[in-house]
Amino acid sequence: MKTRNAFQHEEIFVQFIREQKERFYLLAYSYTKNEQDALDVVQDSIQKAMLSLDRLENVEYMKSWFYKIVVRTSIDFLRKHKRLQVTDDDTLQYLTPAQEDVYENVDLEHALDELPLMYREVVILHYFEDLKLADVANILNIKLSTAKSRLYKALKLLKIQLQDAKGETAHG
Amino acid sequence: MDEKLKELEKQYTEVPIPKELDFVVENALKQGKKKRKNRAPQWLLGTAAAAMLFTAGLNVSPAMARTLSDIPVVGSIVKVLTWTEYKVAEDTYDADIKVPAIENLENKKLADTLNEKYRSEGKALYNDFVAEVDYVKGQGGGHVGIDSGYEIKTDNDQILSIGRYTVNTVGSSSTTMHYDTIDKQNEILITLPMLFKDDSYIKTISENIIEQMRKQAASDPDKKYWVIGGGLPDDEVIDGFTTIKADQQFYISDKGKLVISFDKYEVAQGYMGIVEFEIPTDVLKNELVSSKYIH
């Protein structure tokens, strides 16, 4: 019976990957910032996932389970290539609103890229990949409260009004 | 959602999707399926891994070197043999690295230079592999494979062309090929620029290759090259092939023809693999220094 499950999982997995591959690529790219490296991450993630597919108990968890693999593979990739960006205080200061600026859209173009990784990944997973905050916390291996506070901080850094996030974070 | 967030999401999803994604994904799925099928139970994996790593001997000392394959060619003294071989065969980790060595060259310096290059590259490949396996194991397992070896492209009275290939199935299962071509009589290493009077060969060869690509694409729908008119829609040819490198990989065939080689992904999608083009000597004759090697 276990084997049958595994094969059913495999079919669902293959379909899921084919349908969503572009989303995985975007997520990988948000870490590696490089086309070839993002492709490598996608490939590695798929292979890793297939080898541990039997351990996935419930197909309903497949999405967050696979995102977790992609995120970990990406971070390991950055670590391995020592390109993990460490944000120093200066950058943080620069990103934090110093005073009540009135002009808006301050360089919105690079805002996401300049957001430190720990904040950026929360925003991407929660808002762009539509994952519940609890799932985001699980994927990133952090506590739910940490995920919440990072999300708040991210929105603050992006100068986004907090009420937009309230609905989600309250029950997340 | 907030307007700013929408704008940011738009930027996030606007990252161009590379054309190789489909291929990479399908390939990974295929390999993953294969691995799943012939997979040993979990508890066996660890035991097998421990046992096998010990057998993966690293024969660096010349005394341990195994002569695996001689290439006996009557009339030629210079020969290529397998000097060292690194082998690992675990469930999901396999390496097969054969390091060639050139023997009986009078020109000791040339032989030493080439052999030292082969040896250090082989060892580096093996070390990378071991590091990769350690890393993947730390991640709970995965597949790492490397297959490196050589083939003798040409071995006649005058020319010895060795092609060394490396297939790496960790990244995007890339394949690379490096050639060395030796003039056995004069015992010198032949380089591409050396064959020609000046740099104009780059243009001549590139144009001929583009022409060949288009011809092949026109007669065979399975052949697609990254060049306008090469079988792909124009808008998919973004960073297409325009010119060979001055030191593009090449070898000289047994019949004395120049063959230009491209690595996987260099001029075509991954499924095309390594791509070779034989350049007609007629096209080159005005630019060749002599017709000694290429005729």
* C-alpha to C-alpha distance for A34 and A27, rounded to whole angstroms: 12
Q: Name every chain B residue with its beta carbon within 8 A of the beta carbon of A44.
A: 28, 142, 170
Confidence of residue A97 (pLDDT cuts 50, 70, 90): low
In this prediction the ipTM stands at 0.74
Q: Rounded mean pLDDT of chain B?
A: 78
- Residue written as token pair 């325009």: B242
Nearest to A172 by CA among A141, A129, A136: A136
pLDDT tens for residues B2-44?
Answer: 778 888 888 888 888 988 898 889 888 888 887 766 554 554 4
The pLDDT value given to residue B65: 34
Q: How far is CA B231 from CA A37, A71, B210, B244, in A?
A: 27, 36, 12, 20
Q: Report helix, strand or coil for A100.
A: coil
Contact (Cβ atoms closer than 8 angstroms) between residue A13 and residue A53: yes
Phi (first) and psi of residue B158, to 5 degrees: -105, -40
- Residue written as token pair 């349908």: A19
Q: Which two tokens stand for residue A142?
A: 């952090």
Query: Under an 8 A CB cutoff, do B12 and A44 touch?
Result: no
Confidence of residue B76 (pLDDT cuts 50, 70, 90): very low
- Residue written as token pair 């990949």: A129
Q: Is A166's pLDDT higher than 70?
A: no
What is the pLDDT averaged over residues A147-169?
Answer: 71
Best B3, B10, B11, B12 member to test A by mutation, with max A CBs in 10 Å, is B12
* C-alpha to C-alpha distance for B188 and B197, rounded to whole angstroms: 18
State which CATH number among 3.30.565.40, 3.40.50.720, 3.40.50.1820, 3.90.650.10 fits the domain covering B2-190.
3.30.565.40
B81 vs A49, more confident = A49
Q: Which two tokens stand for residue B12?
A: 């996030």
The second-level CATH assignment, the architecture, of B194-284 is Alpha-Beta Complex (3.90)
pLDDT tens for residues A34-53?
Answer: 888 899 999 999 988 988 88
Q: Which two tokens stand for residue A13?
A: 């997995």
The pTM assigned to this predicted structure is 0.47
Best A22, A51, A141 member to test B by mutation, with max B CBs in 10 Å, is A51
Task: Please tell me the least confidently modeled range out of A16-25, A88-97, B242-251.
Answer: A88-97
Amino acid residing at A103: Y
What are the domain boundaries of chain B? Answer: 2-190, 194-284
Confidence of residue A10 (pLDDT cuts 50, 70, 90): confident
- Residue written as token pair 């060292």: B84
Interface contacts (A, B; CB < 8 Å): 111
The pLDDT value given to residue B202: 92
Partner B contacted by A14 (CB < 8 A):
yes
